[in-house]
C-alpha cells in the first residue's frame, strides 16, 4: 500500500522523537492503518485508546496532530514503556529514549493510574512523547497490550519504567533492520543495582529454543525488538498468565524458527529489584505455560530436567562442592 506523503517536519532537533514528524488529520492516518490491516491479524492498531476506567488523562504529539511513519533508510521504531507509581526512575527512562541518536523513534507510555508523581513526570515530557495515557489496567501485560496496539512502528520494543537505553542503541537496531530482513533482534543488557552501579551482563543464550524453554529466558525482554507484523501474527500477551505471559509469548516466537540476530553489544541497563525483576519471577511459572500448551513432549522434558537438576543440587550439597 502506498502511504500518503506529508511534509516532514523537524519540531525539535534535540529529541529522537521530534526530528521526523508529519502534520496530518488523525482520520486520514487511521484510514491508512485500516487499509493495511489483514483479516488474519490478531489485533487492530489504533491511534488513541478508548477511554478506560479511571482515566486521568492522555496526551502527546498525536493529540496535536503529529504522526510518524517509516522513511527511506529510517524505519520507524516504537518504544513502549508501561509504568505504575514509577516516580523514582521514570524520568531517567524517558530521557534515555528521547536522547537516542536515531532519528525516527515513536515513544508510547501507558500509565496504570499512578497515585504518585508519575503523571507529572510524563506531562513534563509530553512534547517529546508520541502518545501517553493514564488509566487503570488489569496488570502489566494488559498495559503492554495497550501500548502494542497503539504502536505504528515497523519494529516494536518494550522498555520497563526503571531501565535505560544507551543512546546509540536504536541506531544499532535500525542498521540491522535496513540491511537484513530479520523478524526480531535482541542483545545483551548490563545488570545494575538500584543505584545504577554495574555488576554484570545478561547475555543471550546461544541455543534459545532449548535453554530458553528449559532453563531461563533466552534474552532480556527489554532488548527484544520484533516486527509489528510478527506481533499481529502471534497476538498479544495472554492475561491469564499473571507473571509469565512474556515467557508464553517468547515460546511462540522461538517455536516459529524465525530469522533473528543478536546485536552483539549491551544496549541498555537492567535495574535489579525494579519492574524488570518480574521476568525472573516468570521462570518459576514457565512449566505452567508448557503444560497449558498441552505439549506432552515439553512437559516430559521439563519434568526430567527439574528432577535431574534437583538431584544434582542435592549431590553437590552432600559432597560439599
Q: Is 283 left (phi over 0), alpha (psi -120 to 50) or beta?
A: alpha
DSSP 212-224: HHHTS-SS-GGG-
Start-to-end C-alpha separation, the chain: 63
Q: What is the CA radius of gyration of the chain?
A: 20
pLDDT at 73: 93
CA atoms within 13 A on the CB side of 297: 2
Q: Residue 118 in contact with residue 111, Cβ under 8 Å?
A: yes
The H-assigned helical ranges of the chain are: 26-36, 90-98, 118-124, 140-150, 169-179, 208-214, 228-234, 245-255, 277-281, 286-292, 296-319
Separation CA 209–CA 216 (nearest Å): 10
Dihedrals phi, psi of 172, to nearest 5 degrees: -65, -45
CA atoms within 13 A on the CB side of 283: 15
What's the Cα-to-Cα distance from 166 to each of 19, 68, 99, 140, rounded to whole Å?
Answer: 19, 23, 9, 24
Separation CA 125–CA 140 (nearest Å): 22
DSSP state letter for 103: S
User: What is the value of pTM for the model shown?
Assistant: 0.85
Q: List the grid coordinates of 292.
A: 497449558
pLDDT at 212: 46
Per-residue pLDDT of the chain (321 residues; tens, 9 = 90+): 556 667 899 999 999 999 999 999 999 999 999 999 999 999 999 999 999 999 999 999 999 999 999 998 999 999 999 999 999 999 999 999 999 999 999 999 999 999 999 999 999 999 999 999 999 999 999 999 999 999 999 999 999 999 999 999 999 999 999 998 999 999 999 999 888 899 999 888 765 455 444 445 678 888 999 999 999 999 999 998 777 788 788 878 888 889 999 999 999 999 876 554 544 444 444 444 444 554 545 444 544 444 455 445 445 444 544
Q: Residue 86 in contact with residue 162, Cβ under 8 Å?
A: yes
Q: How many helices (H) and strands (E) does the chain have?
A: 11, 13
Dihedrals phi, psi of 134, to nearest 5 degrees: -130, 115
Separation CA 98–CA 105 (nearest Å): 8
3-state secondary structure of 150: helix
Q: Is 48 left (phi over 0), alpha (psi -120 to 50) or beta?
A: beta
Separation CA 265–CA 76 (nearest Å): 21
Dihedrals phi, psi of 65, to nearest 5 degrees: 90, 20
Task: Judge: domain 8-277, CATH 3.90.550.10.
Answer: yes
Separation CA 188–CA 221 (nearest Å): 10
pLDDT at 250: 83
Residue at grid coordinates 499512578: 114
3-state secondary structure of 38: coil
Amino acid at each position: 500500500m502506498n502511504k500518503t506523503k506529508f511534509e516532514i517536519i523537524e519540531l525539535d532537533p534535540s529529541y529522537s522523537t521530534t526530528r521526523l514528524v508529519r502534520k496530518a488529520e488523525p482520520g486520514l492516518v487511521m484510514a491508512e492503518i485500516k487499509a493495511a490491516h489483514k483479516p488474519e491479524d490478531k489485533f487492530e492498531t489504533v491511534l488513541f485508546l478508548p477511554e478506560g476506567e479511571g482515566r486521568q488523562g492522555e496526551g502527546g504529539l498525536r493529540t496535536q496532530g503529529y504522526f510518524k511513519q517509516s522513511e527511506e533508510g529510517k524505519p520507524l521504531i516504537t518504544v513502549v514503556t508501561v509504568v505504575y507509581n514509577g516516580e523514582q526512575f521514570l524520568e531517567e527512562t524517558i530521557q534515555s529514549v528521547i536522547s537516542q541518536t536515531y532519528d525516527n523513534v515513536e515513544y508510547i507510555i501507558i500509565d496504570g493510574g499512578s497515585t504518585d508523581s508519575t503523571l507529572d513526570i510524563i506531562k513534563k515530557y509530553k512534547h517529546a512523547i508520541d502518545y501517553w495515557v493514564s488509566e487503570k489496567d488489569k496488570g502489566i501485560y494488559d498495559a503492554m497490550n495497550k501500548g502494542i496496539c497503539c504502536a505504528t512502528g515497523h519494529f516494536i520494543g518494550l522498555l520497563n519504567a526503571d531501565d535505560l537505553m544507551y543512546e546509540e542503541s536504536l541506531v544499532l537496531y535500525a542498521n540491522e533492520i535496513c540491511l537484513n530482513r530479520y523478524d526480531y533482534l535482541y542483545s545483551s543488557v548490563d545488570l545494575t543495582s538500584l543505584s545504577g552501579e554495574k555488576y554484570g551482563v545478561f547475555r543471550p543464550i546461544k541455543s534459545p529454543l532449548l535453554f530458553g524453554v528449559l532453563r531461563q529466558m533466552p534474552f532480556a525482554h527489554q532488548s527484544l525488538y520484533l516486527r509489528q507484523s510478527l506481533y499481529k501474527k502471534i497476538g498479544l500477551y495472554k492475561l491469564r498468565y499473571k507473571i509469565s505471559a512474556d515467557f508464553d509469548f517468547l515460546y511462540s516466537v522461538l517455536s516459529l524458527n524465525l530469522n533473528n540476530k543478536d546485536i552483539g553489544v549491551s544496549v541498555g541497563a537492567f535495574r535489579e529489584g525494579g519492574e524488570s525483576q518480574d521476568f525472573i519471577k516468570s521462570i518459576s511459572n514457565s512449566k505452567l505455560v508448557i503444560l497449558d500448551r498441552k505439549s506432552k513432549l515439553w512437559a516430559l522434558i521439563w519434568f526430567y530436567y527439574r528432577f535431574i537438576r534437583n538431584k544434582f543440587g542435592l549431590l553437590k550439597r552432600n559432597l560439599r562442592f
